[in-house]
Chain A
Amino acid sequence: MTRPLAMRYPRLFLLLAPLAVAAAIAGCVEKGSSIVTFDEVLQNVTFRNKLLAPVVLYRDGQVLDTLPAQSVRIYDIGHRGPVHHAWRLIAPLDRYGHKAGLETTIDVGVQYAINGEYVIDNNLHGSGPDAGRTIFTPLVANFSPYALRLTANYEEDDQVVTDYLIPHSLDSTLSHAPYFFWNTHSNIRLDAITGSYWRFYTRDDTTSSQLRMDDTGNYDGSGRTVPISVY
Chain B
Amino acid sequence: MYINQEVTMKRRNVRSLYTALPIAALIAVVSALSVHAQERHSTYYDSSTPLSVVIGVKGGVVLTSARQQFPSVRIGDSYAGSGTISSSFGRTGLGSRYGLDILIPFTSRLGIVGDLAVQTSDVRLAADGSRPAVRFDLQAVQGGIGLQGNLYVDTSAFAGPGLRTVYLSGGPDIALGIIENRLEGYRVDSNNVMTPATGSFDNNDPFRTLVALRFAGGVRYGIGVHWELQGEASYAFALNSLFSSTVVRDNSFTFDNLGVMLGLGYRF
Contacts and interface: CB of A to CB of B under 8 A. Distances in A.
| Interface size, B (range) | 35 or more
Contacts of B95: 27
18 contacts: A6-B31, A25-B19, A27-B120, A28-B139, A32-B184, A32-B198, A32-B200, A34-B199, A35-B76, A36-B183, A38-B71, A80-B74, A88-B2, A127-B10, A128-B7, A129-B4, A129-B6, A129-B7
Contacts of B83: 39
A31 B41 contact: no
Interface in A6-39: 6-8, 13, 16-17, 20-21, 23-39
Interface stretch (A102-110, A145-153, A199-207): A102-110
Interface stretch (B149-157, B231-239, B241-249): B241-249
B98 A110 contact: no
Contacts of B223: 5
B96 A23 contact: yes
B224 A2 contact: yes
Interface string B93-137: 001101000000000000000000010100000000000000001
Given A23-B98, A107-B3, A127-B3, A29 B180 contact: yes
Nearest to A109: B203
A172 B81 CA distance: 50
A20 B2 contact: no
Nearest to B223: A5
Given A20-B23, A127-B3, A129-B4, A38 B182 contact: no
Nearest to A128: B7
When A and B form their complex, which 4 residue pairs have the shortest distance between CB atoms, in order from nearest?
Answer: A39-B81, A34-B76, A34-B199, A39-B72
B247 A2 contact: no
B118 A38 contact: no
Nearest to B205: A112
A218 to B, nearest CB: 27
A109 to B, nearest CB: 5
Contacts of A35: 75-76, 199-202
A27 B37 contact: no
Nearest to B39: A4
B74 A27 contact: no
Interface of A: 1-8, 13, 16-17, 20-21, 23-40, 58, 61, 80-82, 86, 88, 105, 107, 109-115, 127-129, 131
A39 B73 CA distance: 5
A176 to B, nearest CB: 22
Most buried by B among A1, A37, A81, A107: A37
Contacts of B10: 127
A107 B199 contact: no
B206 A38 contact: yes
B74 A32 contact: no
Contact of A2 (B26, B46, B187, B200): B46
A39 B250 CA distance: 10
A18 to B, nearest CB: 11
A159 B202 CA distance: 35
B46 A39 contact: no
B164 to A, nearest CB: 16
Contacts of B68: none
B71 A39 contact: yes
A25 to B, nearest CB: 8
Contacts of A39: 71-74, 80-83
Contacts of A86: 2-3
A81 B74 CA distance: 7
